[in-house]
């Protein structure tokens, strides 16, 4: 009888462990499948960015739960942090975030970068606490995608690379190309 009790106890323990581990990693991407661009962006974000950033719509939990005890490479929690306009996200992708310290530059490029940027700009900040006097993320403009992304409709303005650089750096790009273009256009 003792042997039967041991086998039963081991069986119950094995079943409990199996049930507990089966629930791990079952969270799924909850971005809308009806918008192929943002859903693709969510998939790429989960693969490339999820280790350092949290965004529940991509089922990622890479940010540290406590900022005071976080490792240096723990990225922002995008459930709490708004990332709009879309050009801001494209700038961060191309330049390794805003500090340039830990995030690799151009972690995604081309259409993948545009898809990730659209996804992050669309879904980031949705769980941010409501604060008086602060414009909520869902009330800020999403912005427009740069030309060549294939998504703006006819007649919709698109941003050029110079406009993206100007809007994300506060107008201080300081490139010779922009300066000469400005001088050429103002010359008689």
User: What is the residue-level pLDDT of the chain in tens, covering all 188 positions?
Assistant: 677 666 665 555 555 444 444 444 557 887 888 889 999 999 999 999 988 899 999 999 888 777 777 777 778 889 999 998 999 999 999 999 888 778 899 999 999 999 999 999 999 988 888 888 888 888 888 888 766 654 443 334 434 444 443 344 344 433 333 333 333 333 43
Domain locations along the chain: 25-65+76-171
With 0-12 / 13-18 / 19 or more C-beta atoms within 10 angstroms meaning exposed / middle / buried, residue 94 is: middle
Residue whose C-alpha is closest to residue 30's, from 56, 54, 60, 49:
56
CA-CA distance, 110 to 149, in Å (whole number)? 9
* Helix ranges (DSSP H) in 54-143: 86-95, 110-123
Both tokens assigned to 53: 């950033």
- Do residues 74 and 63 make contact, with C-beta atoms less than 8 angstroms apart? yes
pLDDT in tens, 133-174: 888 888 888 888 766 654 443 334 434 444 443 344 344 433
Q: With a threshold of 0.75, does the pTM exceed it?
A: no
Maximum CA pair distance of the chain? 104
**CATH number corresponding to 25-65+76-171:** 1.10.760.10
């Amino acid at each position: 009888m003792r042997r039967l009790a041991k086998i039963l106890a081991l069986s119950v323990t094995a079943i409990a462990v199996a049930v507990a581990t089966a629930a791990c990693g079952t969270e799924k991407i909850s971005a809308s499948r009806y918008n192929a661009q943002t859903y693709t962006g969510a998939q790429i974000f989960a693969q490339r960015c999820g280790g350092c950033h949290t965004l529940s719509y991509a089922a990622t939990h890479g940010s540290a739960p406590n900022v005071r005890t976080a490792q240096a490479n723990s990225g922002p929690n995008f459930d709490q942090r708004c990332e709009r306009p879309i050009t801001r996200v494209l700038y961060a992708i191309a330049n390794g975030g805003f500090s340039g310290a830990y995030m690799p530059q151009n972690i995604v490029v081309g259409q993948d970068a545009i898809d990730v940027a659209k996804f992050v700009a669309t879904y980031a900040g949705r769980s941010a606490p409501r604060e008086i006097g602060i414009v909520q993320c869902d009330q800020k403009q999403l912005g427009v995608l740069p030309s060549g992304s294939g998504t703006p409709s006819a007649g919709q303005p698109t941003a050029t690379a110079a406009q993206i650089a100007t809007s994300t750096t506060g107008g201080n790009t300081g490139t010779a190309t922009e300066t000469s273009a400005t001088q050429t256009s103002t010359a008689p």
